[in-house]
A = this chain, B = another copy of it.
Amino acid sequence: MTNTEKKYNIAFVGAGNVAWHLAQAFTAAGHTVVAVYSRSAASREELAGILPNAAPVSVPDFTGLAVDVILIAVPDAALQSITSELKVKPGTTVAHTSGSQPLAILQHIQGAMPAVFYPLQTFSKTKDLDLKKVPILLEATQESVVQQLECLAQSISGKVHEIDSDARRQIHLAAVFACNFTNHLLGISQQLLQEANLPTELLHPLVQETVAKAMQQNPYLVQTGPAIRHDNNVIQAHLHMLQEHPLFKEIYQKLTESIQATKV
């Protein structure tokens, strides 16, 4: 039996977007999600309800359950407080799923083997997702825990990496630019089209090509547009068009400045 054939009992703390996707992927890979804790009764019941063997639990006390791995998938801001409430059997692996938080944030959970299980992806309940190509970044101090989580991660993804807290923090920062901020820019562009009663689909081929190109080459080397051409007439006209959107105007100015300051 290879490592990836081992099956685990898993519990979730948190029932949001990340737990939603991971719990279903683990179930499909043959693991058993035995419990789902969330402060929100509706959330824990909703997630437990779509899993074959999961009980919704109303207190984060897992000492009475046969659980190998507890995954904490809560907003970063809630992570600290949940660690003080969590109760686990000695020797249970407890992994958080946050890109920005260090492993050490889990160090005060009595008896826990602390770890990180960070899927580098953006999750929405409303959109299906194939986790096979999603990098899963692991960290643990105990080698046995690293191996256990590698086994678990490899059962749902082909891209599993061991990454320390500093590197993960830097990856998370890069991801904020590549994902969260990119998404907002795409939102602004759609808003500008909608305000002119133009179909947002017009920009889809452009966005797809932009991203395809940026993944093949250094984006700085394929930069196009008025900023890189120092086309001040166009830049001034655009700023004038944005006068009713002062924040968009400031974003335009800062990004233009940064494009023009980029050295490649």
Minimum CB–CB distance from A121 to chain B (whole Å) comes to 6
Minimum CB–CB distance from A91 to chain B (whole Å) comes to 30
Tell me whether B255 and A100 are in contact (CB under 8 A).
Answer: no
Tell me whether B219 and A183 are in contact (CB under 8 A).
Answer: yes
Which residues of B lie under 8 Å from residue A129 when comparing CB positions? 209
Known: A122-B209, A189-B178, A210-B182. A127 touches B216 (CB 8 A): yes
Which residues of B lie under 8 Å from residue A177 when comparing CB positions? 185-186, 188-189, 192, 248, 252
Tell me whether B190 and A218 are in contact (CB under 8 A).
Answer: yes
Instruction: Give the distance in Å from the alpha carbon of A91 to the alpha carbon of B252 in the complex.
Output: 40
Instruction: Give the distance in Å from the alpha carbon of A218 to the alpha carbon of B262 in the complex.
Output: 31
Would you call A46 an interface residue if the criterion is a C-beta within 8 Å of the partner chain's C-beta atoms? Answer: no
Tell me whether A223 and B187 are in contact (CB under 8 A).
Answer: yes
Known: A189-B175, A190-B219, A231-B76. A183 touches B202 (CB 8 A): no
Interface size on A, residues (CB 8 A): 93
Find residues 146-195 in chain A having any chain B CB closer than 8 Å to their own CB: 159, 161, 166-167, 169-171, 173-193, 195
Instruction: Give the distance in Å from the alpha carbon of A234 to the alpha carbon of B79 in the complex.
Output: 12
Would you call A1 an interface residue if the criterion is a C-beta within 8 Å of the partner chain's C-beta atoms? Answer: no
Closest B residue by C-beta to A247: B258
Which residues of B lie under 8 Å from residue A195 when comparing CB positions? 170
Instruction: Give the distance in Å from the alpha carbon of A182 to the alpha carbon of B179 in the complex.
Output: 10
Tell me whether B182 and A170 are in contact (CB under 8 A).
Answer: no
Would you call A205 an interface residue if the criterion is a C-beta within 8 Å of the partner chain's C-beta atoms? Answer: yes
Cross-chain contact of A124 among B208, B222, B225 (Cβ < 8 A): B222
Minimum CB–CB distance from A124 to chain B (whole Å) comes to 5
Tell me whether B187 and A77 are in contact (CB under 8 A).
Answer: no
A246-264: CB near B (< 8 Å → 1, else 0) gives: 0110111011011101100
10 A-B residue pairs with CB within 8 Å = A77-B229, A100-B238, A122-B206, A124-B224, A170-B195, A171-B203, A177-B185, A182-B210, A183-B213, A184-B259
Q: 12 new A-B pairs (CB below 8 Å) besides A176-B225, A176-B227, A178-B207?
A: A126-B217, A127-B216, A161-B202, A166-B196, A167-B198, A173-B241, A183-B223, A184-B227, A186-B211, A190-B214, A207-B211, A247-B261
